[in-house]
A and B are shown apart, each in its own frame.
Chain A
Amino acid sequence: MNIFSIFNRRASAPVARERLQVLLAHERASIGQTDLVAVLREEILAVIAKHVSVEPDNLRIRMERGDQMSTLEVEVDIPKAARVRLALTG
């Protein structure tokens, strides 16, 4: 180690602070998001169940958060028998 490296070495605490700020901003959003997705999932299932019977496993929800725009993706598999009934009543 020479005399210059003593002065040049960057203190590590500011690095820790920056990394934590970025990480926690992300984690706080994603943990809140898990709850939101769970709530949406239950309510969407309840609405669909009024008209078509759907197994809970056949409903998939995904949420992606971006800086400009967030998307909510809902995918429901409706079994064949249910679809026939839907066509008849609809």
Chain B
Amino acid sequence: MAKVLVVTSGKGGVGKTTSTAALGAALAQMGQNVAVVDFDVGLRNLDLVMGAERRVVYDVVNVIQGEAKLAQALIRDKRLDNLALLPASQTRDKDALTEDGVARVIDELRQKFDWIICDSPAGIERGATLAMRHADVAVVVTNPEVSSVRDSDRIIGLLDSKTLRAERGERMEKHLLITRYDRIRAERGDMLKTDDVLEILSIPLLGIVPESQDVLRASNIGQPVTVSGPDSPAGRAYAEAARRLKGEALPVSVPGERAGFFGKLFGRRAA
């Protein structure tokens, strides 16, 4: 049965789009049929991060308004046959997404794919609530930093009240994905630790993605990091997160090197 997954966070710039691309590609690399859907109407970027920006002809708004068929708007990934992208519109505004229209598109996608991954826009407005509306599973992307954690808390509240699942009284599966984690800073006491964030938000941990060059490089060249750097710490973290989404019980490891004794002692001066 198809699963609809929303990648959300409340706060902007924490890594939703990067994570959508990486998790989508990782699931496809495991043989799953995956569609990634950009809900950020007016500010689309998933196409760019996935290297498909020059192949966009139709978008999700065209499909909703009946100007194109779903099959015409879906862009098949060049490297992974079983990965497709449904881009957002760059010219319309978020009001072009209607509740009924989104429901129809999601239903049609459910027929064709194993996973439908919705990349939510930042904020808690219409675009974000529509992106989460049909979700069975949510990945809450959080940076170990106060404003991101606060906004994630708010989004978790919305997931538990504004989604179809919540309204039907069903359980909404939620996972925490910590991104931009810097192990040395956390061990030095200058960054919230994974345990701190977990204790505050109290949803299960899906993975920890380190702050890394590889993630920046991946979006520079338009490839999901699990494709461009499958052996990099970030690529591995996403691949493992995807396996956990599939139900595997893998222990989560903290990526990055430990701060040594002298690092702890003298590192503070540099920070």
Contacts and interface: CB of A to CB of B under 8 A. Distances in A.
Interface string A40-83: 00000000000000000000000000000000000000000000
Interface string A1-23: 10000100101111011011101
Question: How would you classify the secondary structure of chain B's contact residues: helix, strand, loop or mixed?
Answer: helix
A17 B190 contact: no
Contacts of B200: 17, 20-21, 24
Contacts, number: 43
Interface residues of B, number: 20
A90 to B, nearest CB: 41
B39 to A, nearest CB: 24
B3 interface: no
A31 B265 CA distance: 42
Given A6-B269, A17-B200, A21-B200, A12 B190 contact: yes
A12 B190 CA distance: 5
B262 to A, nearest CB: 12
Given A17-B192, A19-B146, 8 more contacts: A1-B269, A16-B146, A16-B192, A20-B146, A20-B149, A21-B200, A24-B200, A27-B154
Nearest to B188: A11
Contacts of B193: 13
